[in-house]
Structure 1
Amino acid sequence: MKFLTDVVPVDEHLNNIEKFINVCYVEEGWNVQQHGRVIALRSTDESRLSSAFKASLYLGKYNDMANTNRFLYSMVSAGHSYEPIRGETVLFLFIGIGKPVYDHLVTYTVGRPTRIAGGQRANVPWGFELPVEAKNPDEYAEELERIRNVIRLAKQDRAEQMQAARAKLPVGYIMPPFLMEFSEEALIKTVFRQRLFEKGAQGATVEVVSDMLNACLKVDPDKWNFLIDYHGPHIAQWEKAMRTLRKEGYTLGHIAQQAEVSLEEALEMPLYDLLIRTVGKLPPSMWEKMR
């Protein structure tokens, strides 16, 4: 990642952003948490009391409506409705993010009530993000100069409006900071699952979505660890294992053979671990094959 500090006052912008995060969120009592390039500014159900009340109403438990474990332990664990957290959201601020990652995130519209991305029109890019998968980094040096020329053209020479000049930008330019807000249900069931838990997402996107998840874990580790347990990356392995067992009709002997252990050894091993490392093993993603 390369910021063009010679033509964009990045440090000044960052100082102002930090100042007003404190004014607008921290001083208002929000538990602001950062991980990497992502800042969780506001979690509407930080104390879990809102989802506790809604889960209690859903289940008709009127004598204990502040039970913050009820949604997780009585609804998630039973596979019931996720309505109690559907309306609860996390507002994220993204800083230093390339346009390809923004494009991957903006595809999610259901469960995303807020998107603020002023840099899509008049604001200038902040730099260039080298693709994680790049094998020849030197080949991308010219992209920085292309971005500088666009900024000069629009902001210094004023020969073109930024709306027009941005057509000359390379795909991997760094967006100015932007906001996206997602419902907690959309995060755990869709965004985190498709971009993080399942294999196949592009490298930079995996990094940024990992930052989002880690920021959520800082806000409420109990809730998010519980949700990960029911929706995390191991779910794809479970599905793979069950499909394979049903299709192939394997016996424990077949599983032992795949694990390269004797049947006697297999009988003494935890069956879950044995299945995950054999019939539950996932094939490499396209990006892993490229690497």
Structure 2
Amino acid sequence: MIALRSTDKGRKSSAFASALYLGKYNDMDNTDRFLNGMVKAGHSYEPIRGETVTFLFLGVSKTVYDHLITYTIRNRRIAGGFRVNKPWGFVVPNEAKDPWLYHRMMEDQLARCEQLRKEHPEESLQAIRSLYPIGVMMPPFMLDFSEEALVKNVFRQRIWERGAQEETCDVVNSMFEAVRTLDPEKWNSLQEYHGPHIDGHNRAMRKLREQRPTLRQLVAKNNNAQADVMDLDVYELLMDTVGKLPKTMWDKAG
């Protein structure tokens, strides 16, 4: 996975948009305004809504393609996933208990599809693609994503929230590392306000409001009954008790 192009180079475009949005006409080159003045305040993400990042994907399965296409601008998507493109192979799911079983079955299915093309040349590739297994490897493709969609949907739902399929997590994590390389301050800051700890924060506050536990109950639940409560790390205490997230279906399967 390669990040080919980002439209908000040096944050100049989002700086200009932020200045217009907030009416700061005498200070339009402030590249920190969006992060420090809008993200931290929980304000609109309008300044990056029109900014995009283009990614090139290599060796990615149809399953991951389907997970990602939902969020794209779509002007670069492969029509219907394949159309007349042949798969480049197949991807055995990380969750497979017996990888070689999947390997043999998918290899056999692709061979049968190829045999069908040879024996029945009148059949179009568009029709034969319906017989491909879902785990086929896509030909190289590019997808464009809005920066707002990346931070609020793609990264949040696929790597910062728990429960996404492992292969999709791996690909999306590579996407995040790629954009973070382009602008570490920007994407580290966005991760801070939308990252994996946010679910724990929300769960902790909801359970505190609903259950109204005492400090004594929280300390005992965290096996710190003998500790001096004045020295406890309150954030760690909350995240280890009321903020602790339940296991996902993937955790249970493992």
The 8 Å contact of residues 153 and 159 in structure 1, kept in 2 or not, is answered as: no
Separation of aligned partners in 2, 1:156 and 1:174: 24
Instruction: Give the aligned partner of residue 165 of structure 2.
Output: 202
Separation of aligned partners in 1, 2:183 and 2:119: 46
Matched, 1:64 2:35: no
Matched, 1:187 2:187: no
Separation of aligned partners in 2, 1:68 and 1:52: 5
Post-superposition offset of 1:52: 0.3
Q: How does 1:126-137 map to 2 (within 5 A)?
A: 126-137=88-99
Structure 2 residue runs without a partner (length 5+): none
- State the identity %: 52
Q: Deviations over 1:19-45 (max 9, x none)?
A: xxxxxxxxxxxxxxxxxxx11111000
Post-superposition offset of 1:189: 0.6
Instruction: Give the aligned partner of residue 86 of structure 2.
Output: 124
Q: How does 1:53-132 map to 2 (within 5 A)?
A: 53-108=16-71, 112-117=73-78, 120-132=82-94
TM-score by length of 1: 0.82
Separation of aligned partners in 2, 1:231 and 1:154: 48
Instruction: Give the aligned partner of residue 173 of structure 1.
Output: 136
The 8 Å contact of residues 69 and 77 in structure 2, kept in 1 or not, is answered as: no
- The 3 A distance-change label for structure 1 pair 155 and 219 is farther
Post-superposition offset of 1:250: 1.0
- The 3 A distance-change label for structure 1 pair 156 and 233 is farther
- Does the residue aligned with 1:115 lie in a helix, a strand or coil? coil
Structure 1 residue runs without a partner (length 5+): 1-37
- Does the residue aligned with 1:171 lie in a helix, a strand or coil? coil
Cα RMSD between the aligned structures? Answer: 1.7
Letter in 1 for 2:89: G
- Does the residue aligned with 1:148 lie in a helix, a strand or coil? helix
Q: Alignment length, in residue pairs? A: 252
Post-superposition offset of 1:230: 0.3
Instruction: Give the aligned partner of residue 202 of structure 2.
Output: 239
Separation of aligned partners in 1, 2:226 and 2:205: 21
Separation of aligned partners in 2, 1:286 and 1:183: 29
- 4+ residue runs over 6 A deviation: none
- The 3 A distance-change label for structure 1 pair 155 and 102 is farther
Q: Deviations over 1:110-156 (max 9, x none)?
A: xx253321551101100010011000112111211321332454379
Instruction: Give the aligned partner of residue 13 of structure 1.
Output: none
- Does the residue aligned with 2:24 lie in a helix, a strand or coil? coil
- The 3 A distance-change label for structure 1 pair 265 and 157 is farther
Post-superposition offset of 1:157: 7.1
Q: How does 1:237-276 map to 2 (within 5 A)?
A: 237-262=200-225, 264-276=227-239
Separation of aligned partners in 2, 1:61 and 1:154: 63
Q: Deviations over 1:55-110 (max 9, x none)?
A: 0111222222111101000000001110000000011111111111111112225x
Matched, 1:146 2:79: no
Instruction: Give the aligned partner of residue 11 of structure 1.
Output: none
Separation of aligned partners in 2, 1:156 and 1:93: 35
- The 3 A distance-change label for structure 1 pair 151 and 237 is same
Separation of aligned partners in 1, 2:125 and 2:107: 17
